[in-house]
Amino acid sequence: SQPPPKHRLFGTASHTYGGMGGEPGDQEPSPASARRHVLLLCSPCMGHLIPFAELARRLVADHGLAATLLFAAATDAPSEQYAALAASVPDGVDLVALPAPPADALPPSTPVRERVVHAALSAVPHVRDIAGSLTSTAPLAALVVDMASVPARDVATELGVPCYMFFTSPWMLLSLFLHLPELDAGLVGEYRDATEPIRLPGCVPIHARELPGAMLADRSSETYAGFLSLAKDAARVDGILVNTFRELEPAVGQGGTDCVKDMPVHAIGPLVWTRPVGVNREPEHARLITWLDQQARGSVVFLSFGSGGTLTRRQTTELALALEATGRPFIWAAKRPHEDTADGAFFGTGRGGDDDDDPLGFLPRGFVERTAGVGLVLLSWAPQTAILGHAAVGCFVTHCGWNSSLEGILNGVPMVAWPLYAEQKMNAAMLEAYAGVAARLNAAGPGNGNGFVCKEEIVSVIRRVMDGEEAAMMRRRVGELRDRATHALAMDGSSTLALAKVTALWKSSTSRDEK
């Protein structure tokens, strides 16, 4: 029999908030129920939920708080990724899936960003109900939201508690985000037509081609207006926690101000997924580790485009042929191709599909058989942290989502940067030009075009990252950053001290309110 889940659906059972995991109502009252409580609200982005879960764990384990993590679902059926995370939620964290908006509330063609914002807005009444229940049993210390969930700030105002944003992307994007209203007011024309890069303090220059997609849309469009509205909303919170560390982005708090545009900012990262694999994944995990144990040190290429990234069928074929051409051992967390968008799995992947009889039928004919002794192809799921942490892995082909970028650094693995959507091109630029731990694919080179990357380019960049003097320099640099990241999270590290400073502030404000 399976262990009880450490999460629940909102409204499925009576529950005393402040419980320490397990089925609602199945525990005796404990001293934790009297702990000051932090309520965290995450929009329906797996890339946000992973660091939110780790932040909640640290608040409980290291700072003596209780934590309830609310997930504003966008779809009724939980994704495979959500189910895996929910099965591994640490003790002390109560994960609650809020009801998704009605399926017909938005047209099927609604872009991802609008669906995310809609789900976050729909969650606010549930947040208000849950916050009210929490305050009846224990003092509420703070509400923590992500960038799409700032409208829930009104609940914090009503209850008289601080509202902080946890920004799960790098400080460079946060700086762009907070400066956007000012940039918008001074711009003539469109961002995509700018010939000069955007220069922000402490950041690499941001060229037009590297900007988030919403900033490349017409400034008169709803897409851009929504992004600008999110940026203006950010000014409503009381402070910002950002998932980075000063040794990677030294400009955080430059000059000792700990502020960006007068907003208190605290670098508390790198927070990545550190939990064991979810239930029913142990045998598959063990087989992967056994296979890696048989490979030479630093010889394996690991490829993953995150929880949401997808490639077209043509690009998937080209990537497969490139892997075969390298002759190197590989592990590829592949997804079914998506022809219309690079974020086709943004809300997660379910189990099964149209190709159940041949789940890898989208790969070139004979590829799986020809590479059977060399590589492994996993459909969607891979224990990324465990793979990157294995000494056999010498190269990480990544979409440059921030979670994956931090995991690459924390495990000391040089990267091939293949950004797909959102702010990933900015991340790639920073990882290559500033951090020196990645090499970017050139999608504009010979044989490429419209975002397509040819086999020769893929092979060339993998070799750059794994062979020769440039590769040796990347390995040294990422090793240095790995050590600094580890220290940032130590008891006397900059990120641990920054989070302790914030939680002390939350506790003191709660104590004053109780007097």
Positions annotated as catalytic residues are 48, 146
- Would residue 228 be called left, alpha or beta, if left means φ above 0 and alpha means ψ between -120 and 50 degrees? alpha
**Which DSSP state fits 83?**
H
* CA distances for 369 relative to 202, 214, 300, 311, 329, angstroms: 49, 41, 19, 22, 14
- Contact yes or no for 168/52 (Cβ under 8 A): yes
d(CA 205, CA 220): 25
Task: Please tell me the number of Cα atoms within 13 Å of 270 on its side-chain side.
Answer: 24
Q: Which are the contacts of 61, defined by CB distance < 8 A and separation ≥ 6?
A: 90, 92
- Cβ-count burial 35-73 (b if 16+ within 10 Å, e if not): bbbbbbbbbbbbbbbbbbbbbbbbbbeebebbbbbbbbb
Q: Positive or negative, the Cα torsion across 458, 464, 465, 467?
A: positive
Which residue, 112, 47, 115, 113, is CA-closest to 304?
A: 47
Secondary structure of 245-296 as H, E, C letters: CCCCCCCCCHHHCCEECCEEEEECCCCCCCCCCCCCCHHHHHHHHHHHHCCC
Place of tokens 């029999």: 1
**The two structure tokens encoding residue 146:** 């992500």
Work out the number of other CB atoms within 10 angstroms of the CB of residue 11. Answer: 12
Helix (H, G, I), strand (E, B) or coil at 375: strand
Q: Positive or negative, the Cα torsion across 290, 79, 39, 242?
A: positive
* CA distances for 270 relative to 402, 411, 482, 500, 505, angstroms: 10, 12, 10, 15, 21
d(CA 508, CA 514): 10
d(CA 387, CA 304): 11
Q: Please report, as a single letter, which amino acid is at residue 115.
A: R
**Which DSSP state fits 404?**
H
